[in-house]
Amino acid sequence: MNLIKERLHRKNVLVVFDDMDEREQLEALMGERCWFGDGSKIIVVTKNKHLLTEVEVDGILHAFRETRPSKDYEELSEKVVDYCEGLPLALKILGFHLSTRDKAGWKIDIAHWRNIPHDDIQAKLRVSLDALDVDASEIFLDIACFFVGKDKDYVADIVAARYGCHPEVAFRALIGRSLITINNSLWMHDIV
């Protein structure tokens, strides 16, 4: 790590850290901000949205490559956001895909995705699922098959009894990877 510090110290650089999952992993590579010169840009690509809240982030690039969609696309953008139902990974993938399409293309794609989910989203979600430990992966499958819409405490009791672990740890891992949401009950996006 000293090599990174020595080579990049006081230089303006663009650094992309792709597929970061753990804070320790990112901190080991990124080190201190003083390692990089003023004006340097550090881009972190992650499926773990909590990672960005754990490290100091100056800004987050929005989907569709803009901070707001143009007036012509506001209604269509709202449809995409509704379809993604808070799944950041889906929004990122669809936003990137749609950024090069015209309005007619947006309408066609949105109608198509309502029936058949986008392949890239399915592939990325699979990677996210594969990165879970065995217990969290099994708990996810149990939730998907039996507990969508069920009371969180009810499911937590079953998970604790079946796996002998603290369910909140697994729930946090699944929420962090956008695989489930919890609002007194457990929910899963239709795309998942």
Predicted TM-score (pTM) of this structure: 0.52
- Confidence (pLDDT) at 23: 77
Q: Model confidence over 123-169: pLDDT tens digits?
A: 777 777 888 888 999 999 999 999 999 999 999 999 999 999 899 99
Going 160 to 162 to 163 to 167, the CA torsion angle's sign is negative
Higher pLDDT, 178 or 173: 173
DSSP the chain: -HHHHHHHTT---EEEEEEE--HHHHHHHH--GGGS-TT-EEEEEES-HHHHHHS--S--PPGGGSSS--GGGHHHHHHHHHHHTT-HHHHHHHHHHHTT--HHHHHHHHHHHHHS--HHHHHHHHHHHHTS-HHHHHHHHHIIIIITTSBHHHHHHHHHHHH-S-HHHHHHHHHHTTS-EESSBEE--TT-
Look up residue 28 and give its two tokens.
């080991």
Q: Model confidence over 14-60: pLDDT tens digits?
A: 777 777 777 787 777 776 666 777 777 777 777 666 776 666 665 55
Strands 186-187, 181-182: pairing is antiparallel
- Confidence (pLDDT) at 160: 95
d(CA 31, CA 1): 8
**Domain ranges (residues) in the chain:** 2-54, 63-124, 132-187
Instruction: Using alpha carbons, select from 40, 37, 38 the residue that is nearest to residue 9.
Output: 37
